[in-house]
């Protein structure tokens, strides 16, 4: 079966994460988005793990299901058209801060696990190293190589995946505190790294420029800090709904792993270089000439993901890696509606329209990916046009930098004026 999987999200026990992140709410948004396999997030956190144990039950194949009564309650609240199974996969993210070769390193890793018993065994070991209670994404003073060793000793069924590998802070290739290669970070255990996560600010094409990643599966997850952000990036599989199959497909990068859904990387918070406080946004080509010195404050700019990829690249942009998979850039439906309707993505107007569309066509990823434009145009010509443009990549983006998201526009100024006129004539969308 073909399905979408999002293998890295957080619970409400992680810093800066929404209080809405309960298992029921996560289940609800998976149904609305059309996600079949979702990370539990934060299984290292004792209170969250207690909820996982109470509200989820094992499905015999390493995946978990929400309690029937809780699921029933949610099902009654969502459109009939948004059907489909939702399974949870045990997942956590660990933040490592440690010194190696005289430099402070900060690396985030996602660890997927097949069963609660394995999670409990791992948690016991990690609790001796640091405080698991303080944050759903615990911070440990542990070398990434040693964490991988502990994970493998606990269970060879687990998989450790370096998270959002290009973010300047907190990632394996990050400009601020990362490494230049997987080998430098994981040393003798590097062969146990089968996959990396692109993060929002990079896409597979950027990662194809790095030859060391040729035999590494490039996966994408949302790293959602609130339920609605689930599946802003995701993976496409064609296999059984089973932990072993999913992990095996990732490890072998074979036909069962179809590719990814991607944020437009320019929309990510660290795509370009710059200084937020100085209002300086810079193309890496410029930065290279100026040695990354801010033209305003003369301090070092925050070097973004694109620049860092160029630094480590052995291939030119546009060249494909031999094992490249397909990927598709998507824009969250509420953002698309927000532009069309000229209202914020969190407004009631946009929300009402969002649910109308879901009720008519089914889950969001289906609308963005699968429903033909001719069908969508029966609901709204402009919506069909917007989605066609998104699918074709013919949109305009002001790249994100130094922690600021990029800005997407699907329509140009003239078209937007025409939209405005339509609205004044009372034509909704
Ligand atoms: Zn992270
Ligand atoms: Zn500056």
For residues 67 and 195, give the distance between their C-alpha atoms in angstroms, rounded to a whole number: 31
Q: What is the mean pLDDT of residues 72-99?
A: 96
Q: Which residues of 107-126 are buried (b: 16+ CB within 10 A; e: fewer)?
A: bbbbbbbbbbebbeebbeeb
CA of 210 to the centre of ligand 1 (A): 21
pLDDT for res 421? 75
Residue 289 has pLDDT above 90, yes or no: no
The band of 420, judged by pLDDT with boundaries at 50, 70 and 90, is: confident
List, in sequence order, every residue forming a beta bridge with 263; answer none if it has no partner.
330
Q: What is the per-residue pLDDT across 226-266, written as a single tens digit (0 to 9) for each?
A: 999 999 999 999 999 999 999 999 999 999 999 999 999 99
- Other beta carbons within 10 angstroms of residue 232's beta carbon come to 22
For residues 279 and 108, give the distance between their C-alpha atoms in angstroms, rounded to a whole number: 28
pLDDT for res 426? 53
What are the structure tokens assigned to 385, written together?
Answer: 């046009």
- CATH fold of 2-267, please? TIM Barrel (3.20.20)
Across 280-294, 317-331, 414-428, least confident range:
414-428
CA of 398 to the centre of ligand 1 (A): 24
- Ligand lying nearest the CA atom of residue 280: 2
Tell me which residue has tokens 């759903």: 136
- Ligand lying nearest the CA atom of residue 279: 2
DSSP 272-297: BEEETTTTEEE-HHHHHHHTTB-TTT
CA of 387 to the centre of ligand 2 (A): 37
- Ligand lying nearest the CA atom of residue 165: 1
Residues at Cβ < 5 Å from ligand 2 ion: 275, 278, 294, 296-297
- Ligand lying nearest the CA atom of residue 9: 1
CA of 119 to the centre of ligand 1 (A): 19
CA of 418 to the centre of ligand 2 (A): 38
CA of 126 to the centre of ligand 1 (A): 18
pTM value is: 0.94
For residues 357 and 351, give the distance between their C-alpha atoms in angstroms, rounded to a whole number: 10
Backbone φ, ψ for residue 273 (5° rounding):
-90, 165
pLDDT for res 81? 96
**Cα 264 to Cα 1, 38, 209, 258, 406, distances in angstroms:** 27, 21, 17, 19, 9
CA of 292 to the centre of ligand 2 (A): 10
* Residues 6 or more apart in contact with residue 394 via CB below 8 angstroms: none
CA of 182 to the centre of ligand 1 (A): 17
Q: What is the per-residue pLDDT across 156-211, written as a single tens digit (0 to 9) for each?
A: 999 999 999 999 889 999 988 899 999 999 999 999 999 999 999 899 999 999 99
Nearest to 303 by CA among 401, 195, 164: 401
Given a contact cutoff of 8 angstroms between Cβ atoms, the answer to whether 263 and 329 are in contact is: yes
CA of 400 to the centre of ligand 1 (A): 18
3-state secondary structure of 354: helix
Residue 427 has pLDDT above 60, yes or no: no
The band of 413, judged by pLDDT with boundaries at 50, 70 and 90, is: confident
CA of 298 to the centre of ligand 2 (A): 6
What are the structure tokens assigned to 421, written together?
Answer: 């006129």
CA of 305 to the centre of ligand 2 (A): 18
Given a contact cutoff of 8 angstroms between Cβ atoms, the answer to whether 199 and 164 are in contact is: yes
The band of 346, judged by pLDDT with boundaries at 50, 70 and 90, is: very high
For residues 294 and 144, give the distance between their C-alpha atoms in angstroms, rounded to a whole number: 32
Q: What is the per-residue pLDDT across 206-232, written as a single tens digit (0 to 9) for each?
A: 999 999 999 999 999 999 999 999 999
For residues 338 and 350, give the distance between their C-alpha atoms in angstroms, rounded to a whole number: 6
CA of 83 to the centre of ligand 2 (A): 49
For residues 345 and 366, give the distance between their C-alpha atoms in angstroms, rounded to a whole number: 19
Given a contact cutoff of 8 angstroms between Cβ atoms, the answer to whether 199 and 305 are in contact is: yes
pLDDT for res 59? 87
For residues 248 and 415, give the distance between their C-alpha atoms in angstroms, rounded to a whole number: 47
CA of 276 to the centre of ligand 2 (A): 7
Q: Which residues of 42-65 are buried (b: 16+ CB within 10 A; e: fewer)?
A: bbbbeebbebbeebbeeeeebbbb
**Cα 179 to Cα 153, 333, 340, distances in angstroms:** 24, 36, 42
- Give the residue, 81 or 426, on which the prediction is more confident: 81
Residue 423 has pLDDT above 70, yes or no: no
CA of 275 to the centre of ligand 2 (A): 5
- Ligand lying nearest the CA atom of residue 170: 1
For residues 105 and 98, give the distance between their C-alpha atoms in angstroms, rounded to a whole number: 5
- Ligand lying nearest the CA atom of residue 174: 1
Q: What is the mean pLDDT of residues 136-160?
A: 98
Residue ranges of domains in the chain: 2-267, 332-424
CA of 107 to the centre of ligand 1 (A): 8
Tell me which residue has tokens 């402070």: 104
Q: What is the mean pLDDT of residues 295-313?
A: 94
- Give the residue, 318 or 162, on which the prediction is more confident: 162
The band of 415, judged by pLDDT with boundaries at 50, 70 and 90, is: confident
List, in sequence order, every residue forming a beta bridge with 87; answer none if it has no partner.
37
Q: What is the percent of the chain where pLDDT is above 70?
A: 98
Q: Which residues of 259-296 are buried (b: 16+ CB within 10 A; e: fewer)?
A: bbbbbbbbbbbbbbbbbeeeebbbebebbeeeebebee
- Ligand lying nearest the CA atom of residue 275: 2
3-state secondary structure of 83: coil
> What mean pLDDT, rounded, does the chain reach?
95
Residue 93 has pLDDT above 70, yes or no: yes
pLDDT for res 4? 98
For residues 41 and 60, give the distance between their C-alpha atoms in angstroms, rounded to a whole number: 20
List, in sequence order, every residue forming a beta bridge with 282; answer none if it has no partner.
273
CA of 407 to the centre of ligand 2 (A): 21
418: left (phi over 0), alpha (psi -120 to 50) or beta: alpha
């Amino acid at each position: 079966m073909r399905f979408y999987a999002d293998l890295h999200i957080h619970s409400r026990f992680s810093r800066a994460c929404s209080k809405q992140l309960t298992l029921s709410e996560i289940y609800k948004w998976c149904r609305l988005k059309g996600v079949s396999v979702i990370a539990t997030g934060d299984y290292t956190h004792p209170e969250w793990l207690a909820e996982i144990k109470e509200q989820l039950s094992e499905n015999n194949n390493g995946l978990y299901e929400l309690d029937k009564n809780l699921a029933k309650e949610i099902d009654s609240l969502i459109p009939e058209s948004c059907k489909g199974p939702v399974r949870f996969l045990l997942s956590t993210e660990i933040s490592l801060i440690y010194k190696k070769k005289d430099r402070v390193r900060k690396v985030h890793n996602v660890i997927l696990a097949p069963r609660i018993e394995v999670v409990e065994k791992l948690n016991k070991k990690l609790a001796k190293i640091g405080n698991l209670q303080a944050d759903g994404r615990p911070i440990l003073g542990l070398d990434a190589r040693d964490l991988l060793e502990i994970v493998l000793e606990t269970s060879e069924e687990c998989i450790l995946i370096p998270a959002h590998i290009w973010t300047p802070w907190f990632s394996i290739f990050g400009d601020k505190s990362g490494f230049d290669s997987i080998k430098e970070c994981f040393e003798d255990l590097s062969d146990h790294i089968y996959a990396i996560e692109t993060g929002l600010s990079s896409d597979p094409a950027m990662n194809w420029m790095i030859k060391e990643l040729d035999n590494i599966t490039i996966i994408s997850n949302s790293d959602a800090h609130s339920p609605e952000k689930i599946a802003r990036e995701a993976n496409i599989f064609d296999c059984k709904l089973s932990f072993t199959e999913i992990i095996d497909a990732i490890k072998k990068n074979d036909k069962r792993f179809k590719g990814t859904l991607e944020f437009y990387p320019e929309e990510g918070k660290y795509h370009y270089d710059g200084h937020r406080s100085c209002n300086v946004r810079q193309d890496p080509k410029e930065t290279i000439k100026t040695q990354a010195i801010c033209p305003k404050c003369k301090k070092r700019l925050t070097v973004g993901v694109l620049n860092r990829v160029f630094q480590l690249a052995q291939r030119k942009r546009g060249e494909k890696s031999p094992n490249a998979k397909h990927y598709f850039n998507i824009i969250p439906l509420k953002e698309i509606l927000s532009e069309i309707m000229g209202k914020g993505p969190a407004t009631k107007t946009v929300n009402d329209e969002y649910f109308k569309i879901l009720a008519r066509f089914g889950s969001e990823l289906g609308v963005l990916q699968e429903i033909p434009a001719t069908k969508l145009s029966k609901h709204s010509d402009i919506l069909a046009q917007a989605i066609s443009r998104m699918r074709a990549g013919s949109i305009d983006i002001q790249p994100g930098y130094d922690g600021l998201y990029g800005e997407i526009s699907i329509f140009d100024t003239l078209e937007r004026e025409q939209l405005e006129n339509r609205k004044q004539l009372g034509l909704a969308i």
